[in-house]
Amino acid sequence: MKNSYSNIFNFNKKILHKIIVNLKKGNVVGLPTETVYGLAGNAYMSESINKIYKFKNRPKRNPLIIHYFNYKRAEQDVIMNKNFYKLYKKFCPGPITFILKRKKKSKVKFSATANLNSVAIRFPNHRVMNSLLKNIEFPLAMPSANKSSRVSPVSAKNVADEFQKKIKMIIDGGKANLGIESTVIDLTGHPKILRPGLITPENINQVLKIKLNIINNNRTSKSPGLLSKHYSPGIPVIINQKNCKKNCALITFGKKYKNKKNFYNLSRTSNLKEAASKLYEIFRKIKKDRYKKIYVVKIPNKGIGIAINDRLKRASN
């Protein structure tokens, strides 16, 4: 069936060719990944980087994640180390971003990395990204395809709704099945988690077998982009609640909550992975259903719950 958005396309060989032509020209394209949808541009071209920041209205001090097909392709831009290889082997392609030192001869534009001497790299696990990255000789700078500080998109329609016709090409790769942004880990020194995600501190500890640092101070100069206000659905979010009035929406978790019109359950079976995948979708649904405030029950702060609480906390700021 043809969709009603003239800028959303299904992926095929002809479209792949069109995407490549656009990226080479310095244009940006909306692309699916397993985490959330991204706004992609050629990481070796200033023009593309400028467009990404402009469209998103993103502060220039917030660096972008650079996406590669595999580690071989990233070797020319960053200095890899033992911890990186261990984690890569276990989790890639997948929802984890590594901060590594920049190589002197790196071609990644400094404007894409907020002039830092480090680069954030990721290897996405999605068939569209896979075919595309395999067929281009440059990596993609790609933040989530939403305006800065807003909720990340989990479908092609979410992207189209956010930017209207400004983005000429958005590729439909189905619902982003993980639904929450990658874990960000700084490997330039002793490993530090800068942003929690689906790959949890325990998962990482099992591989590295060290005591991991987890940063929850937003103003760390190491990760200038981790703004305290983020992931905002555009209406107030109040966390750690037990109930709410009829005119507000309550985001619930677990089977003890009834099926009420204004209750939105993240996971009836208390599955944190399911909850993470539904969070942004539910934010959008509540707004569409015209509630003016979102209350959220307490979510267990362990494993993937740490990532969910991180997003909820920022959304409530």
Q: Taking a C-beta distance cutoff of 8 angstroms, is the pair 296, 240 a contact?
A: yes
Nearest CA to 47 out of 22, 74, 18 is that of: 22
Q: Between 222 and 293, name the residue whose CB sits nearer to ligand AMP.
A: 222
Shortest CB 155 distance to ligand AMP, Å: 17
Task: Give the one entry of ligand AMP, Mg ion, none that residue 223 binds, where binding means its C-beta sits below a cut-off of 5 to 8 angstroms depending on kind.
Answer: ligand AMP
Question: Pick from 111, 113, 155, 267: which binds ligand AMP (CB under 6 A)?
Answer: 113
Shortest CB 47 distance to ligand AMP, Å: 19
Question: Pick from 35, 48, 111, 144: which binds Mg ion (CB under 5 A)?
Answer: 144
Of the chain, the end-to-end C-alpha distance in Å amounts to: 41
Shortest CB 152 distance to Mg ion, Å: 5
Alpha-carbon span 162 to 142, nearest angstrom: 16
Q: Taking a C-beta distance cutoff of 8 angstroms, is the pair 255, 269 a contact?
A: yes
Asked if 33 interacts with ligand AMP (CB under 6 A), we say: no
Q: Taking a C-beta distance cutoff of 8 angstroms, is the pair 66, 123 a contact?
A: no
Asked if 183 interacts with ligand AMP (CB under 6 A), we say: no
Q: Which residues contact 126 (CB under 8 A, 6 or more apart)?
A: 32, 33, 34, 173
Asked if 149 interacts with Mg ion (CB under 5 A), we say: no
Q: Which residues in the 133-162 window bind ligand AMP by CB under 6 A?
A: 143-144
Asked if 199 interacts with ligand AMP (CB under 6 A), we say: no
Asked if 113 interacts with Mg ion (CB under 5 A), we say: no
Q: Between 249 and 311, name the residue whose CB sits nearer to ligand AMP.
A: 311
Q: How far is CA 223 from CA 8, 226, 281, in A?
A: 33, 6, 27
Q: Taking a C-beta distance cutoff of 8 angstroms, is the pair 191, 83 a contact?
A: yes
Torsional class of 141: left (φ above 0), alpha (ψ -120 to 50), beta (otherwise):
beta
Count of residues of this chain found to bind ligand AMP when the rule CB under 6 A is applied: 19
Shortest CB 100 distance to ligand AMP, Å: 8
Residues that bind Mg ion (CB under 5 A): 144
Interface contacts to ligand AMP, rule CB under 6 A = 62-65, 99, 113, 116, 118-120, 143-144, 181, 184, 194, 222-223, 225-226
